[in-house]
Structure 1
Amino acid sequence: MWQRGDRTEVTCIACGETVPRSKAREYDKHGDRWDREDKEFEHLCKPCYRMLCHQPRKGLETLLAEAGAGDVPQSEFLRRFSEAVDAEADSENERGPQQ
């Protein structure tokens, strides 16, 4: 089995638990874990990984950053995020169904 580096234990980014690498799953915040060139992966323990939503998330990281995730108070972030999601939904409705 191919392994990157010599790390035998990793820390889960969701719960903070340190687990053996064999008991964890790689997490790529850009959603493309198959493109491995020049990447440093974060990890999730298997229980946290199972709770993850595995739906496509194209553009989510950009949306979170633009809404100020981690940089503004939670209420401000939620307002910005909600407005951005609503604007995207309105834009998709105007374009009509994708074929």
Structure 2
Amino acid sequence: MWGTRNGGDGVDCLACGRTVERSAAREYDKEGDRWSRRGKDFEYLCKTCHRELCHQPRDELEGLLLDIERDRPRGQREFLRRYNELVEDRYGSLEERGR
């Protein structure tokens, strides 16, 4: 009812599965916008796993992945082929962008 004496409830890290205190975790929002809180349930990462993440912007990534899943790729090879195809269609090739 009152939480633990040391200040919080335990949460499970979605990457490694360890249970850590809430104060020792970072919120993870798959949409990449943890500041927009309305109607969301957050998952958590322990600080170690959070540091290992790529912290580059991922705007439009969720939509891209959903578009690929709608095509029902069969296996990893087809998924990656479709991913590369969509990325080049939407953003151009790396060569075109000048890397």
**Which segments of 5 or more consecutive residues in structure 1 lack a partner in the other structure?**
1-6
**Structure 2: distance between partners of 1:54 and 1:16:** 21
**Structure 1: distance between partners of 2:88 and 2:15:** 27
Give the aligned residue type for 2:84.
S
Partner secondary structure for residue 68 of structure 1: helix
**Structure 2: distance between partners of 1:84 and 1:13:** 28
The residue that corresponds to 1:67 in the other structure is: 68
Q: Deviations over 1:11-41 (max 9, x none)?
A: 1111222211111100111111111111100
Tell me how many residue pairs correspond in the alignment. Answer: 87
**Which segments of 5 or more consecutive residues in structure 2 lack a partner in the other structure?**
1-7
The residue that corresponds to 2:45 in the other structure is: 44
Q: Percent same amino acid among aligned pairs?
A: 55
The TM-score, its normalising length taken from structure 2, stands at: 0.74
Report the Cα offset of residue 74 of structure 1: 1.4
State the Cα RMSD in Å.
Answer: 2.5
Report the Cα offset of residue 89 of structure 1: 2.4
The residue that corresponds to 2:19 in the other structure is: 18
Larger Rg: 2
2:93 equivalent to 1:76: no
The TM-score, its normalising length taken from structure 1, stands at: 0.74
**Structure 1: distance between partners of 2:54 and 2:64:** 17
